[in-house]
A = this chain, B = another copy of it.
Amino acid sequence: MAVLTPAPHRAVVEHLVRQAVYSRLGRPLPRAAAAPNPLVVNVSARHCHLTQAPVEALFGKGHELQVHKWLYQEGQFAAKETVTLVGPRSRIISNLRILGPCRTLNQVELAYTDGIALGFDLPHRISGDIRGTLGCMLMGPAGFFEMEQGVIRAMRHVHMHPTDADYYGVKAGESMTLKIGGPCGIVLDKMLCRVDPSFKLEVHIDTDEGNACNLQPETPCELIK
A residues apposed to B, CB below 8 Å: 111-113, 116, 124, 155-156, 183-190, 206-209, 211-212, 214
Contacts and interface: CB of A to CB of B under 8 A. Distances in A.
A211 B111 CA distance: 8
Contact of A124 (B112, B209, B214): B214
Given A185-B190, A187-B187, A188-B186, A211 B113 contact: yes
A187 to B, nearest CB: 4
A184 B124 contact: yes
A145 to B, nearest CB: 27
Contacts of A155: 184
Copy tally for this chain in the complex stands at 2
A212 B155 CA distance: 11
B211 A186 contact: no
A212 B186 contact: yes
Contacts of A209: 186, 212
Nearest to A122: B214
A18 B194 CA distance: 40
A115 to B, nearest CB: 8
Contact of A113 (B113, B124, B186): B113
A113 B208 contact: yes
Contacts of A111: 211
A177 to B, nearest CB: 9
A110 B209 CA distance: 16
A217 to B, nearest CB: 14
A89 to B, nearest CB: 18
A87 B171 CA distance: 47
A211 B112 contact: yes
Contacts of A207: 113
